[in-house]
A and B are shown apart, each in its own frame.
Chain A
Amino acid sequence: AQSVAQPEDQVNVAEGNPLTVKCTYSVSGNPYLFWYVQYPNRGLQFLLKYITGDNLVKGSYGFEAEFNKSQTSFHLKKPSALVSDSALYFCAVRDMRDTGGFKTIFGAGTRLFVKA
């Protein structure tokens, strides 16, 4: 069975500082990994995905994520945080072998708070 863990309920960072939102995963096969962001009263928005290839994936709004197979992690990063980055961030995983269906499992979410 596949699962996703986001160990931090909330991450606080000062504007201009780098941010990291952590994610670890568990799948039987190779993973497809995703990050989504949810702003208040809105649906989730796709940020980026890792399918294969370069371990560092770049996405929307200056975010990037690093796939680490040995640590089964896919942490979300941004070099310089903005107040407008404050939102709820979800990590998600799908087993690459799941070609017949598309059950993407989402983590519980991490709330990012960027202070001015």
Chain B
Amino acid sequence: DARVTQTPRHKVTEMGQEVTMRCQPILGHNTVFWYRQTMMQGLELLAYFRNRAPLDDSGMPKDRFSAEMPDATLATLKIQPSEPRDSAVYFCASAPTGNYDEQYFGPGTRLTVT
């Protein structure tokens, strides 16, 4: 049963610290999405990649957020410096080639910035 994995599952950090979240998409999926979920804003698309290339990161605050795919098995989302308003659950999702609309979500990283 293939799954998207995310690490860490929980992260508590102080304001100003760097945070790195990692995602391993399902093997063979070539589209990867990063979402943020908060009570106030719901589920927001931050960025997505196709074949490791960033297609759109317009949903991401550029000054502090960055997303990369160093290889096909790893996607990263970094926040530097982190702020309390970044507290949220961050989800990674992947989708298979040719069926981009069926997204498989990871369990999420719950980030708390104090």
Please list the residues of chain A having a beta carbon within 8 angstroms of any beta carbon in chain B.
32, 34, 36, 41-46, 49, 51, 90, 94, 101-109
Contacts and interface: CB of A to CB of B under 8 A. Distances in A.
Contacts, number: 51
B27 to A, nearest CB: 17
A42 B101 contact: no
A42 B91 CA distance: 10
B42 A43 contact: no
Interface stretch (B63-71, B77-85, B105-113): B105-113
Interface string B16-50: 00000000000000010100000000110100100
B91 A46 contact: no
A107 B42 CA distance: 8
A80 B78 CA distance: 44
Interface residues of B, number: 21
A103 B56 contact: yes
A46 B102 contact: yes
A45 B105 contact: yes
A44 B42 contact: no
Q: Which secondary structure dominates where chain B touches chain A?
A: strand
Contact of B31 (A36, A42, A102, A105): A102
B15 interface: no
Contacts of B75: none
Contact of B101 (A34, A90, A108): A34
Contacts of B43: 44, 90, 106, 109
Report, nearest first, the 8 A-B pairs whose CB atoms are least far apart.
A43-B105, A106-B43, A44-B105, A108-B42, A46-B102, A43-B106, A102-B100, A43-B107
Given A43-B4, A45-B105, A103-B45, 9 more contacts: A34-B101, A44-B43, A44-B105, A46-B102, A101-B48, A102-B55, A105-B45, A106-B43, A108-B42
Contacts of A103: 45, 56
Contacts of B4: 43
A42 B107 contact: yes
Nearest to A42: B107
B101 A32 contact: yes
Contacts of B105: 36, 43-45
